[in-house]
Structure 1
């Protein structure tokens, strides 16, 4: 609690509060009050995480990342323990504005950042060791931001979609079920008896995969059904597969039954750039599923969750509904509804690649019509 309050104060988000720069905290610093919760929600919203107002592991992670400013530490590429923080984001932004960095601005000092930094150093007459220390920071400040314009990463994503063409055949998609192994999730009562969250997700994943294969696409699941790898490990699988798109599937729940509806998420936050293709596909999937089911439309949102952040290809996380809500349960446990959701996802992918040639109203493009278009 005290760490969070102190970090928010250093970021200038708690006016009138003077943080103790030592490791000692006063007792009043350890209290969680309404004003702190309000500031915390604003911080969470800006960082692309759920603005709950609570201090969880993800919020602490983002607070620690936000505490770094460019120049507060030496930055270098560490393959097995990549540096993460707002100082890396600032470095990536400056290198991008100068034309050296064209990858996603994600605050991770990976190989792309290392190569861009070394190239900048070489062109600036510095030692091209890929280490961002005082001399490199001075050079960045002296040169300033002389190039402005759209995000090269977004332009590259858009060009990849355009050059891939409208046909789905040959496109590679990773389907990422959020549960596996011994983790079955919530168990609910469906029309044919009890069914676990894991069964709902995997059934939908199989329906999506079947349609994609029928359309000539290459698919892979991010995990074996009897295994439970981390989000990082599943992202590594997707990256190794050379995926064009990743679609992650999960359900949600809430302490009471009022929360309901479907939502989709893509990579993005106020501190970095967003995945343009991920945002576009997220919107398509959201609208198609809402048009074909009775699920409440909870919108499409930018987030920095691990599966969205660590994957190289545009990724959409689909939160199918709340298993704590009777209406959502009735929808998600109905095989016909899951069939409609699977069709919606594949149609949304087709819409992404059609670009300006997409003229069918939302919810009307059928999978049978899609197959005929693929075979034409």
Structure 2
């Protein structure tokens, strides 16, 4: 077992994100983490970032390295090190076998070593997923099952004895993706009707109660209004809707609280609404995101389908700039037990996007699109309708037919 420096970066960026031009010890830690991630050099012949003449400066080389890392890890590639990027850098510090893994309760252990263990257990048929890089009770239970098969103490602790026993197995026979199959089968068995389905709607607020802003609009207000309109449509279709934010002053739950809310609600799906802002006023468009990564078991098949449906329905109904649907590793879609998507409504820094988001007609069209997208998830292979054509009456007809 080894020690990996860098854990102190997250509390530093929680106070203020690191960006171009910053200077200090936190930048030294950042350079080391980027070197360890082995993705930090845009130029293969360049020296390691941790060996630069001025290691305390967040310069152009660091900014480019951060962007490359962000692109690879599925977070916003803005070259700024905030909470999500810091979490991914922290996870990348660890390789399987570097440390003892155990269910520590709150906070849970995270890292690429946890993802590697989960993926290995998926291939061995003892872990049904997801491969989320979080060592919780489900992963510990899977590990105990593996340990019983290996003939080592089934204590749910991944330490030296289990490492050596796993090494003796050699290469595992690769199987399928049971977690993905299970979630898809669950949706297929749920029926076509939205009556009785439980949908959690999340209005992003940036953690500070306001979030992004521009052209007189504030993210927290825009997303809350979108959730209100979408909730109204879903309830008319017979669905049960839960909102992570009540709209009361000071009600700004963090990511963990929002994930816990969806779990306690018993949600079938989670749809989270966000706004963007960019230094360039030309950045505009609508995008959706779902959980996805490069490992076996590290993606949400239903989330990908829902994100794609939302994206196509909104573009077809509004003509907004299509920024497409993308896999990502944001905690909101990674930590939820049920399929979840993030919806990027547009850029408040762009005049056209801001004007659309100020329009009740546009928000109503987005709500119609989300309703149609959720319905399409449950129609599955029986969905033969053209994009942009499903209306509330069609959704109600499916409810009557089930």
Q: Please, what TM-score do these two structures have when normalized by structure 2?
A: 0.86
Contact 1:331–1:337 (Cα < 8 Å) also in 2? yes
Work out whether 1:232 is the aligned partner of 2:260: no
User: After the TM superposition, which residues 201-350 of structure 1 pair with which residues of structure 2 at under 5 Å, given as runs?
Assistant: 201-226=223-248, 227-270=251-294, 273-350=298-375
Give, in angstroms, the shift of residue 63 of structure 1.
1.6
Matches of 1:55 and 1:40, distance apart in 2: 7
Q: Which residues of 2 match residues 61-140 of structure 1 at below 5 A?
A: 61-140=87-166
Q: What is the rounded CA distance, in whole Å, between the counterparts of 1:19 and 1:198 in structure 2?
A: 38
**C-alpha distance in 2, partners of 1:334/1:52?**
28
CA pair 324-10 structure 1, distance change in 2 beyond 3 A: closer
Aligned to 2:19: none
Tell me the TM-score normalised to structure 1 length. Answer: 0.91
Q: Is the 8 A contact 1:65 1:85 kept in 2?
A: yes
Residue 180 of structure 1: CA displacement?
9.3
SS of 1:30 mapped into structure 2: coil
CA contact (8 A) 2:237 2:392 kept: no
Query: Structure 1 residues 220, 56: closer, same or farther in 2, change over 3 A?
Result: closer
Q: Which residue of 2 aligns with 1:54?
A: 80
Please state how far the C-alpha of 1:266 moved relative to its aligned partner: 0.9
* Counterpart pick for 1:142 among 137, 161, 168: 168
8 Å contact kept, 1:308–1:315: yes
Measured after TM superposition, the shift of residue 83 of structure 1 is: 0.7
CA positional deviation for 1:181: 10
2:28 — aligned with what?
A: 2
1:94-133 Cα offsets, whole Å, 9 max, x none, are 1111011112111110111100001111122110100001
Tell me the distance in 1 between the aligned counterparts of 2:218 and 2:35.
44
Q: Out of 33, 42, 47, which is 2:68 matched to?
A: 42
- Give the drift of 1:57: 3.5
Shift of 1:278: 0.5
Mapped to 2, the partners of 1:309 and 1:337 lie a distance apart of: 29
CA distance in 2, matches of 1:6, 1:180: 28
Shift of 1:188: 6.2
Per the alignment, residue 163 of structure 1 pairs with: 189
How far is the alpha carbon of 1:183 from its aligned partner? Answer: 2.4
Residue ranges of structure 1 left out of the alignment (5+ in a row): none
> C-alpha separation between the residues in 2 aligned to 1:34 and 1:127?
50
Deviations along 1:122-150, whole A, 9 cap, x unmatched? 12211010000111011111113433132
Q: Does 2:169 match 1:173?
A: no
- 2-structure distance, mates of 1:327, 1:242: 37
* Cα distance change on mapping 1:147 and 1:324 into 2, 3 Å: same
CA distance in 1, matches of 2:213, 2:62: 36
- Of 181, 201, 221, the residue aligned with 1:199 is 221
Distance 1:37 1:222, change over 3 A: same
- C-alpha separation between the residues in 2 aligned to 1:375 and 1:204? 27
Return the alpha-carbon distance in structure 2 between the equivalents of residues 7 and 183 of structure 1.
31
Q: CA deviation at 1:261?
A: 0.7
Return the alpha-carbon distance in structure 2 between the equivalents of residues 304 and 181 of structure 1. 18
Count of residue pairs the alignment pairs up: 368
Quote the Cα distance in structure 1 between the aligned partners of 2:158 and 2:343: 38
Please tell me the root mean square deviation across aligned C-alpha atoms, in Å: 2.2
In the alignment, is the contact (CA less than 8 A) between 2:49 and 2:62 conserved in 1?
Answer: no
